[in-house]
């Protein structure tokens, strides 16, 4: 194989690109990340919550037993290396909406697959001084949040300092194929991995895949009264990032798919927030992003059907925080050691769309 300047070019420095680049550098690969922090990014907007039991029916998140411990170890060790706290463990308090819901949820907690994610404390968290919880509530554990703005900034500084980050917008038209390698701006690479989130739809190599992007908005609020370090979740989430500052989200919308917060989404979040909490607050900012979701709600990862040095790491949807580290590791193992990718995430499942 020809010698190249770098083993890998990673396009995009959101959560996908960052997790992948981190795993590649840990396995001793020579990497260059190309990113443009002035472009929008879903990771910049995300609340960073990881929640093992989601939805109205309290369903265990897909592969939670594998993904959560891996993510925990990953963000903890990354934080140690970057000298900052990226991972914040925090229980998720889910107020019951009715006696019926209380009964249903408590019955479900007998399921051994679920019970390890529910607090066994006899005295449940008491947030009634600021949360509407007339019927009590349930405390989900092994949950928390990752400080994504800090992670993105710290890793960008780290990679820049080590000559592994270039600030630039990547144009696919500038990529040239030369024998076994790829060249971009006169720099040669063994492989290019595209980690562009929603912007993959502008990339001819991969825009045939069934992305189903979803816009989301969140609010930053300041509360007059101090709140406890519990994420509150009922229809929406309220995540305390400090005693008086919370992030509140998120909405799900499809039209228009742009990156602008709207008054309508703010009103939707406010109306849900008012039925969740009973203390005064003020909105300090609103932001919106586009989740790189997929029709079958599974990541899109793997090697291009016609070019074995063009790779995709995408489709993290609503759960990038836990999916990104685990599948970054799986992708590196696949590319470097030939280990099989989970077929449910491998883009091979959609090759028929490419060849039709």
Ligand X SMILES: Cc1cc2nc3c(=O)[nH]c(=O)nc-3n(C[C@H](O)[C@H](O)[C@H](O)COP(=O)(O)OP(=O)(O)OC[C@H]3O[C@@H](n4cnc5c(N)ncnc54)[C@H](O)[C@@H]3O)c2cc1C
CB 288 within 8 A of CB 262: yes
Write out the residues near ligand X by the rule CB under 6 A: 11-17, 34-36, 39, 41-43, 45-49, 169-170, 195-199, 216-218, 249-250, 289, 291-292, 314, 316-321
How far is CA 275 from each of CA 238, 270, 283, 300, rounded to the nearest angstrom? 12, 9, 16, 37
**Which candidate, 82, 76, 130, 108, places its Cα nearest to that of 325?**
76
Give least dist CB 237 to ligand X, A. 7
- When the beta carbons of 38 and 337 are compared against ligand X, the nearer one is 38
- When the beta carbons of 124 and 220 are compared against ligand X, the nearer one is 220
- When the beta carbons of 171 and 224 are compared against ligand X, the nearer one is 171
**Residues 58, 61, 62, 68, Cα dihedral to 10°:** -150
* Contacts for 163 with CB less than 8 Å, ≥ 6 apart: none
- When the beta carbons of 224 and 255 are compared against ligand X, the nearer one is 255
Give least dist CB 40 to ligand X, A. 6
Distance CA(356)–CA(346), nearest Å, equals 18
- When the beta carbons of 85 and 115 are compared against ligand X, the nearer one is 85
**Which helix (DSSP H) or strand (DSSP E) does residue 86 occupy?**
none
Give least dist CB 252 to ligand X, A. 9
- When the beta carbons of 291 and 334 are compared against ligand X, the nearer one is 291
Give least dist CB 184 to ligand X, A. 11
Q: Which residue minimizes CB distance to ligand X?
A: 14
Give least dist CB 50 to ligand X, A. 6
* Contacts for 78 with CB less than 8 Å, ≥ 6 apart: 22, 86, 151, 155
- When the beta carbons of 46 and 335 are compared against ligand X, the nearer one is 46
* Contacts for 17 with CB less than 8 Å, ≥ 6 apart: 10, 11, 33, 35, 193, 195, 313
CB 109 within 8 A of CB 115: yes
Give least dist CB 65 to ligand X, A. 17
Give least dist CB 336 to ligand X, A. 21
Distance CA(325)–CA(275), nearest Å, equals 35
């Amino acid at each position: 194989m020809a010698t190249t300047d770098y083993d890998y070019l990673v396009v995009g420095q959101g959560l996908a690109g960052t997790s992948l680049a981190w795993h590649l550098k840990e396995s001793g690969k020579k990497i260059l990340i190309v990113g443009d922090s002035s472009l929008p990014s879903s990771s910049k907007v995300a609340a960073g919550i990881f929640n093992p039991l989601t939805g109205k029916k309290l369903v265990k998140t897909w592969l939670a037993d594998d993904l959560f411990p891996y993510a925990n170890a990953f963000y903890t060790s990354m934080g140690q290396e970057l000298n900052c706290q990226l991972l914040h463990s925090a229980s998720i308090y889910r107020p019951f909406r009715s006696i019926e819901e209380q009964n249903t949820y408590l019955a479900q907690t007998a399921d051994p697959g679920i019970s390890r994610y529910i607090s066994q404390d006899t005295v449940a968290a008491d947030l009634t001084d600021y949360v509407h919880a007339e019927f009590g509530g349930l405390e989900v554990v092994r949950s928390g949040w990752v400080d994504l703005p800090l992670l993105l900034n710290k890793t960008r500084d780290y990679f820049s300092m080590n000559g592994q980050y270039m600030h630039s917008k990547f144009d696919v038209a500038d990529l040239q194929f030369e024998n076994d390698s790829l060249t971009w701006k006169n720099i040669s690479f063994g492989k290019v991995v595209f980690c562009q989130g929603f912007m993959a739809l502008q990339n001819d190599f991969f825009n045939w895949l069934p992305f189903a992007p979803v816009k989301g908005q969140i609010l930053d609020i300041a509360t007059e009264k101090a709140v406890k370090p519990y994420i509150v979740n009922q229809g929406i989430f309220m995540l305390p990032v400090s005693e008086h500052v919370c992030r509140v989200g998120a909405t799900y919308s499809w039209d228009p798919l742009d990156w602008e917060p709207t008054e309508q989404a703010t009103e939707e979040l406010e109306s849900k927030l008012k039925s969740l909490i009973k203390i005064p607050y003020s909105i300090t900012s609103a932001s919106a992003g586009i989740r790189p979701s997929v029709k079958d709600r599974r990541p899109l990862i793997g090697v291009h059907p016609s070019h074995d040095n063009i790779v995709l790491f995408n489709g993290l949807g609503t759960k990038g925080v836990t999916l990104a580290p685990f599948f970054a590791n799986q992708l590196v193992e696949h590319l470097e050691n030939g280990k099989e990718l989970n077929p449910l995430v491998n883009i091979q499942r959609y090759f028929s769309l490419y060849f039709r």
